């Protein structure tokens, strides 16, 4: 069990999946830059979080619910949690600005919310939902054993990195063009004494112009 003073932002799990260096720049070095993607994500979350709780179609809807897990060392806000009035388990609903990601980071963040609710309420939370704004589509996500194991592993990894207080070295790849911290990180400044590998990396960087179409910059998630 982690003491309350050692709890880390749950949103950091998505940053960690995207890039460990980005996570460290945000959560260790307190660096932050905003771009179009982060601004859109911030506005979407603000809209999802606003407004009082309400009851609709037999479901109590609670917005911006504070959640935590002492076991995993996480703290944060759930965009929306739906509590069915028939006694069924609650359903966390996470809002995203773009489309589903290939790296599973959205599912990890949602699973962490479910695990927090389980610990706080003492009940099982077998599924959650991701709502993607671009296609306006709601996706049901089973909180299964494999996803739970990955989420718990990443929570442990995040605490291990935080305890080291060390920012990983930059590594240039196609994800960099979606990152609002590109200029802070400066992955193209990697040097390996003039090798062909460095030349190719810098050539790749020169072509990184447009943001990734199907990947939010995760610096906006909560």
In a domain, 208, yes or no: no
Distance (Å, whole) CA 104 – CA 92: 17
Question: pTM of the entire structure?
Answer: 0.79
In a domain, 164, yes or no: yes
In a domain, 198, yes or no: no
**What is the residue range of 68's domain?**
4-169
Could you count the other beta carbons within 10 Å of the beta carbon of residue 17?
A: 23
| pLDDT < 70 regions, the chain | 32-51, 189-222
In a domain, 113, yes or no: yes
Q: How many domains does the chain have?
A: 1
Distance (Å, whole) CA 112 – CA 11: 9
What is the pLDDT, as a whole number, of residue 53?
Answer: 86
- The CATH number covering residue 11 comes to 3.90.320.10
In a domain, 202, yes or no: no
In a domain, 205, yes or no: no
What is the pLDDT, as a whole number, of residue 150?
Answer: 98
Q: Please classify residue 164 by burial: count the beta carbons closer than 10 Å to its beta carbon, then call 0-12 exposed, 13-18 middle and 19+ buried.
A: exposed
């Amino acid at each position: 069990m982690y003491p309350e003073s050692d709890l880390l932002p749950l949103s950091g799990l998505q940053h960690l999946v995207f890039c460990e260096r980005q996570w460290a720049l945000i959560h260790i070095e307190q660096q932050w830059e905003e771009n179009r993607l982060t601004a859109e994500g911030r506005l979407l979350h603000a809209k999802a979080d606003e407004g009082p709780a309400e009851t609709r179609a037999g479901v109590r809807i609670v917005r911006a619910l504070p959640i935590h897990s002492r076991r995993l060392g996480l703290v944060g806000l759930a965009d929306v949690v739906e509590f069915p009035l028939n006694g069924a388990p609650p359903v966390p609903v996470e809002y995203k600005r773009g489309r589903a990601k290939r790296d599973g980071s959205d599912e990890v963040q949602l699973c962490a919310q479910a695990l927090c609710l389980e610990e706080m309420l003492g009940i099982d939370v077998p599924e959650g939902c991701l709502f993607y704004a671009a296609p306006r589509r709601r996706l049901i996500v089973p909180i299964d054993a494999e996803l739970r194991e990955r989420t718990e592993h990443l929570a442990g990894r995040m605490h291990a990195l935080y305890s080291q207080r060390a920012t990983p070295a930059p590594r240039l790849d196609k994800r960099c063009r979606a990152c609002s911290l590109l200029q802070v990180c400066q992955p193209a400044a990697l040097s390996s004494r003039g090798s062909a590998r460095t030349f190719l990396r810098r050539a790749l960087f020169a072509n990184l112009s447009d943001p990734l179409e199907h990947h939010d910059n995760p610096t906006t998630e909560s």
